[in-house]
Chain A
């Protein structure tokens, strides 16, 4: 065991897969010499050489598109895009090709590749650097979407993502890249894609969250405890395929569900989980599902971000209203 933050844990996962599988290549803007804008790939080029860990020219569509070609020809590329807000030029490649080539060729070609990028707000970043657009990816048939909330999970999920024969979008909560340290196994670990985790058992409200929101919910839970509200916290870990079973089982126990997300409220993950709750656990519900999500506005620049982001107080306020419904 070694104490790692999420940046180190992701680096460790890449290191293990690069060492183990000669078909794994890692590339993107600045990932080579510099080790990435967040230093996630630091030291890997020195260790594995420029053919395997390298800087690409600055073009997101080409990074993803050429990775698709590499995957078709038998490699397992792991590409880094610098921010969630910069992925859009690559969208056509993701939705029209990465998600479809296996289906279009009836399995003759597949695209075992990982598209990694940091997402989310709360770090006083520049414009276009704070988006949480996971619902866009969850909506695309043919790809899988993963978001870890701890260093351990980041390592185990990334290893599974690299080993997956389907394309995986791996979104990293940059707000907690270095904020959480945890003991992580130094050897290879893997966490199955598609499985949520019950972090805390409780009896009054099921809270479903993921990524950087887990820590905010945990802070809100301290207040909830003082108010005698017992929270069952589920860390989703995989956005798609979503672990319905864990969510439904919990709602059947608690009768109430809140979803905490950084996304805009409408048409997102929170709406999807609300549908799951009402379609599959309707008779267990004692209150309508509650979406604790961002406004349907543009992410404000840093001075306005505190209104937009979910704080522990805001989460507790909503949970208290939910229990009183």
Chain B
């Protein structure tokens, strides 16, 4: 745990590899990653951002219901997408679009979920991706339990579990960390500290120097990372995953970021923050920094960016239209999955409603 020892949360130290201009701060830290790997990582983040922009716009057009934008937080999911392996589990909160896609979710499914279909939570090609978890922090306990099952079966898998800064106030956050540490299970807990729980800023959420420091109370390593720095996130996640997989127990990563958009499309951030503050954080934008780094290495240019965004838009539109054209919701979809073994009474309730529908049909 080299990095975790080097960056002490008690002194509020933060792991950073590149600055806001994409310049490498400390060459020794820079991970040795192939050019094509970096380009691919950037493309994935750009795809997630394009899809996210368009999702907000679909919602504004009335084609999708309430949606929580990811804008500004793409480096966390982007790095996670590059560290997670097929055998690993992802236990999301609800603002990790890039990581879901990396795990095998399709945009069509994501759009279906926000259009109001349960089918959008299946993630057919991602057997180890859980659905979003709306009750804040409650999902972290599932990660701990999955970690126990991994250990019990002697598998070499890691669970990545995500929560926001507000979620660290929930009892389930503390219970999940404690249980995971006592049981020494392979879970990497990632807190996306995006500065706000809807409207409540971090300083009203906690009185600790940072979030990473909370790990110490549970006897596990913790680190505060610049969550808008792809390289820093990659390093921290990689080291955490290796530590957990080796049987050393769980790890806590605080990823410092900023939610540039609204909490959801129903929220209005102008009520609780200033545009000056937003502009300050804009300077740390994860894609801008990554883009500048790639340009400095002559791996990327504006023309490539424009071309690829146009391609991405077509792809996003295609998947959105597919989601818009799924067969209509059926009555049986309401009933079919409430139980594995459906009680007789539910069958009766379904049949009674079918009778009503028949009656209604005959009336028209």
A residues engaging B (CB < 8 A)?
25, 51, 56-57, 59, 61-62, 64-75, 77, 89, 92-93, 96-97, 101-110, 112, 141-142, 144, 164-166, 194, 240-242, 244
Contacts and interface: CB of A to CB of B under 8 A. Distances in A.
Contacts of B138: 61, 65, 92-93, 96-97
B148 A70 contact: yes
A75 B172 contact: no
Interface in B122-146: 122-123, 127, 130-131, 135, 138, 140-146
B176 interface: yes
Nearest to B182: A57
B179 A96 contact: no
Contacts of B182: 57
Interface of B: 89, 91, 118-119, 121-123, 127, 130-131, 135, 138, 140-150, 152-153, 171-172, 175-176, 178-179, 182, 336-341, 343-345
Given A65-B175, A70-B145, A73-B150, A110 B340 contact: yes
A102 B337 contact: yes
A69 B149 contact: yes
Contacts of A71: 145
Contacts of B135: 92, 96-97
Contacts of B341: 164-166
B343 A194 contact: yes
Nearest to B124: A108
Given A75-B148, A241-B345, 11 more contacts: A59-B171, A69-B141, A69-B142, A69-B149, A70-B145, A93-B138, A97-B138, A103-B118, A106-B122, A107-B337, A144-B343
A246 to B, nearest CB: 12
B141 A68 contact: yes
A112 B343 CA distance: 16
A62 B130 contact: no
23 contacts: A59-B171, A61-B175, A62-B175, A65-B145, A65-B172, A70-B145, A70-B152, A72-B145, A73-B146, A74-B149, A74-B153, A77-B145, A89-B171, A92-B135, A92-B172, A93-B141, A97-B138, A102-B338, A106-B118, A109-B130, A144-B343, A166-B341, A241-B344
Contacts of A62: 141, 144, 172, 175-176, 178-179
A51 B150 CA distance: 12
Given A69-B149, A97-B142, A142 B121 contact: no
B340 A102 contact: yes
Nearest to A194: B343
A65 B141 contact: yes
A108 B122 contact: yes
Contacts of B337: 102-103, 106-107
B131 A61 contact: no
A256 to B, nearest CB: 24
